[in-house]
Amino acid sequence: MSTKVLCVIIIFVFSTVLRPMNRSKITTVTEFVLLGFPGSWDTQLVLFSLLLIIYILTLLGNGAIISAVIWDQRIHTPMYILLGNFSFLEIWYVSSTVPNMLANFLSKTKAISFSGCFLQFYFFFSLGTTECLFLAVMAYDRYLAICCPLHYPTIMTGRHCATLVSLCWLVGFFGYPVLIFLISQLPYCGSNIIDHFLCDIDPLMALSCVPAPITEFIFYTQSSLVLFLSIMYIFTSYILVLRAVFQVPSAAGRHKAFSTCGSHLMVVSLFYGTVMAMYVSPIYGIPPLMQKIVTLVYSVMTPFLNPLIYSLRNKDMKCALKTVLCSMRRSQSS
């Protein structure tokens, strides 16, 4: 099943089933208000312009990596196939929040429908989970390439790579529907104001009229397991990679290994550092504005910086991007 078909089915289910069942529970809240970032109208325009530029550059940067992986035959290897899929994921991830944020900057009501809020909630967490799994698979690829170079071609085949990519998408998208559906069925009969720029677990649970400790516990346990297991696997892989790198006799070989792994480690540190600061550490003492900034870093800035990190530190990717640009110029001139 393709990603597009999967997303269409999910949207259909949420839009046709979720809302009617909520009415049967006599839920009075039909929409939520996302306060976003505070400020005057001029401040909102400045934030809108800045975020729009970042969003466009994010789409262009990740799109350029996808184009390079597709068009340049020299980088049709598992490492770059994973990177191309990761860039595709980043486009979806940033698009799950930024378009609504842009609309809210120019809106007076800043409202989002009930179904739209839970759709955003679902896609945001599903894509975030998929990103964690992709980073772990990319670490696995680097471990095999550096620690088991002789067996790498026979283990990391095209079929094996496609299986890993498919598993990342499937596990990410089928991990949260039931939990988010249960949260959506809670009665929301009081305030509908969310002091955030997206629909997140904590503000939604705070607005519910009835506590759901079991659902909340399962949700946080599942999210924590995904975070901790993936980051532990990544760090274990790179400890073994570093040990293997230091055993490489030539300085050139060590430099090449560090350059290919360094980009991935920078992305991992940026993403996991901010996510864990938000969802693992106690957030009740963190001011709402700081929560928004931390969320903005891992949901918007990380997808924006990833193409720069991977392209600037990777010689093969820079050559592939130059090839794509040159072929585009030749096609335009002809």
Identity of the residue numbered 166: S
Q: Over the stretch 26-67, which tens digit does the pLDDT of each residue have?
A: 447 889 999 999 889 999 999 999 999 999 999 999 999 999
Q: What is the pTM of this model?
A: 0.85
- Residue 79 CB-density burial (10 A; 0-12 exposed, 13-18 middle, 19+ buried): buried
Helix, strand, coil percentages (3-state) for the chain, rounded to 5, are 80, 5, 20
List the domain range (segments joined by +) for residue 217: 33-326
Residue 15 lies in a domain: no
Domain count, the chain: 1
Give strand ranges (E) for 155-231: 193-194
Quote the distance between the C-alpha of residue 241 and its chain's center. Answer: 25
Distance between CA 232 and CA 268 in Å, rounded? 12
pLDDT of the residue at 39: 87
pLDDT of the residue at 29: 82
Residue 20 lies in a domain: no
Which one-letter DSSP state was computed for residue 72? Answer: -
Distance between CA 246 and CA 3 in Å, rounded? 40
Residue 22 lies in a domain: no
Q: Over the stretch 255-269, which tens digit does the pLDDT of each residue have?
A: 666 666 777 778 888
pLDDT of the residue at 259: 67
pLDDT of the residue at 151: 92
Residue 104 lies in a domain: yes
| Low pLDDT (below 70) residues in the chain | 1-27, 248, 250-260, 279-285, 312-313, 332-334
Residue 24 lies in a domain: no
CATH code assigned at 131: 1.20.1070.10
Residue 332 lies in a domain: no
pLDDT of the residue at 179: 93
pLDDT of the residue at 260: 64
Residue 26 lies in a domain: no
Residue 268 lies in a domain: yes
